[in-house]
Amino acid sequence: MRQLISIRVVAVAIGLFFALSVLWALVRGIGPGFSNLAEYGQFTEPNVEQAFHKHPNHYDFSFDGPVGNWDVGQLQRGLKVYDEVCSACHSLKFVAFRDLAELGLTPGQIKAFAAKHQVPGVDKNTGEATTVPGLPTDYFPSPYPNEIAARAANNNAVPPDLSLMTKARHDGTNYVVSLLTGYQKQPAELLKRFPEAKTPPGLHYNPYFANLNIAMPPPLHTDGQVTFDDGAPSDIKSMAEDVAAFLTWTAEPKLVKRRQTGWPVVIFLIFATGLAYMSKQQVWAAVKPKKAA
C-alpha cells in the first residue's frame, strides 16, 4: 500500500514539475545563465570595471509580464528614432521593410518608407553594382559599404547590428535605455582610486557599458531631437524608451504571440496531469495491494 501511494505521489510530482517549469519559462523567460563571479564578490581587490560598472535600471514597458502587449504607438515612435538617429551608424539586417506592417503601417506607407532608403542593386543599363531605392521586400541597409569604412568612421570600432541587440545583452531592453541615458563625466572617486583608468580621447564614459568607455558618442543628446507625429514627449529618456521598445520588437517580433500561446499550453499540461492521475486511479482501482504477512 505504501509503495502504491509513493508511486502516485511521484507521478503527480513529475506532472506538476513539468507544468510549473513551463509556467516559470513563460513568466520569467530564459535567464541569461549564471552571472560572472564578480557579481558575488571576490577575494581580490575589484578592478575598475567591477567597482564602477552599473546594472541596467528598470523601466516599465507595456510588453512586460505574462499578459503584456505591444504599444504600437511606442513602436512607431521607436522606429522614427532609429530611422532619424540610430540608422546613421547601425544596421537592422534581419528586418525587412514589409515587416513594418506589424507596427500598423499601411502598404502605401511601407512602400514610401522603403523607397527613401538606398539598398544595394544593379544598374539595369550597365550591369554594374549600384544603389537603388528600396522595395518592401528589401531589408534595412547598412550605413557603410564594408567593415573598413565602418571602422574609419567610428574610431576603429564597428557599430553592431541592432536587430538582435536586446537579446544579445542581459536585460536587453532596460540595458538599451540605461546605456542611451547613462553618458556622464567620470566620477571623482574613480579617478582617485584608478587614475590610470581615465577615459582615453575619442571615447566616452558610460557606467552601463561593459568596460565603462564606449566609442559611440551620445546619440540622443538633446530633448526634442526627434519630433513625433502623435505629440508624445520627446525628451531623451522618452526617446530612449521608445527605441528600446522598437529594438525589443525587432529581436522578438513574436514575443507577445508566444506568451499568448504559452498560457493555453500551461493550462493544458495542468489539466492533462490531473486527467492522467485520474485515469491511473481508474485503471488500477481493481488491484488491491497485498497485505503484509
Helices 72-84, 236-251: axis angle to 10 degrees equals 100
Same domain, yes or no, for 63 and 190? yes
278 is known to lie in a ligand binding site:
no
Q: Is the confidence at residue 43, as pLDDT, over 50?
A: no
Sign of the C-alpha dihedral, residues 197, 203, 204, 206? negative
Same domain, yes or no, for 175 and 228? yes
Is 32 within the bounds of a domain?
yes
Same domain, yes or no, for 166 and 25? no
Q: Is the confidence at residue 33, as pLDDT, over 90?
A: no
Same domain, yes or no, for 13 and 66? no
Whether 131 and 15 have beta carbons less than 8 Å apart is answered as no
SS3 content of the chain, % helix, strand, coil (to 5): 50, 5, 45
Is 26 within the bounds of a domain?
yes
Q: What is the pLDDT of residue 6?
A: 65
How many domains is the chain partitioned into structurally? 2
Phi, psi of 241 (to 5 degrees): -65, -40
What is the four-CA torsion angle of 151, 157, 162, 167, rounded to 10 degrees? 150
Whether 197 and 47 have beta carbons less than 8 Å apart is answered as no
Judged by average pLDDT, the poorest of 34-43, 54-63, 148-157, 210-219 is 34-43
Domain extent for 196: 49-70+158-278
d(CA 131, CA 141): 10
Q: Is the confidence at residue 34, as pLDDT, over 80?
A: no
Cell of 234: 520627446
Is 124 within the bounds of a domain?
no
Same domain, yes or no, for 24 and 63? no
89 is known to lie in a ligand binding site:
yes
d(CA 87, CA 83): 5
**Among 59, 85, 84, which residue's Cα sits nearest to residue 208?**
59
Pairwise pLDDT comparison (95 vs 27), residue with the higher score: 95
216 is known to lie in a ligand binding site:
yes
Does this model's pTM top 0.95? My answer is: no
Is 243 within the bounds of a domain?
yes
Pairwise pLDDT comparison (128 vs 292), residue with the higher score: 128
Is 90 within the bounds of a domain?
no
Same domain, yes or no, for 15 and 53? no
Whether 24 and 31 have beta carbons less than 8 Å apart is answered as no
Q: What is the pLDDT of residue 283?
A: 84
Bridge partners of 213? 205
Same domain, yes or no, for 179 and 38? no
Whether 157 and 151 have beta carbons less than 8 Å apart is answered as yes
204 is known to lie in a ligand binding site:
no
Is 232 within the bounds of a domain?
yes
Sign of the C-alpha dihedral, residues 197, 201, 207, 210? negative
CATH of the domain at 274: 1.10.760.10
Radius of gyration of the chain (CA): 26
Work out the pLDDT band at 41, boundaries 50, 70, 90. Answer: very low
Q: Is the confidence at residue 180, as pLDDT, over 90?
A: yes
d(CA 94, CA 76): 18
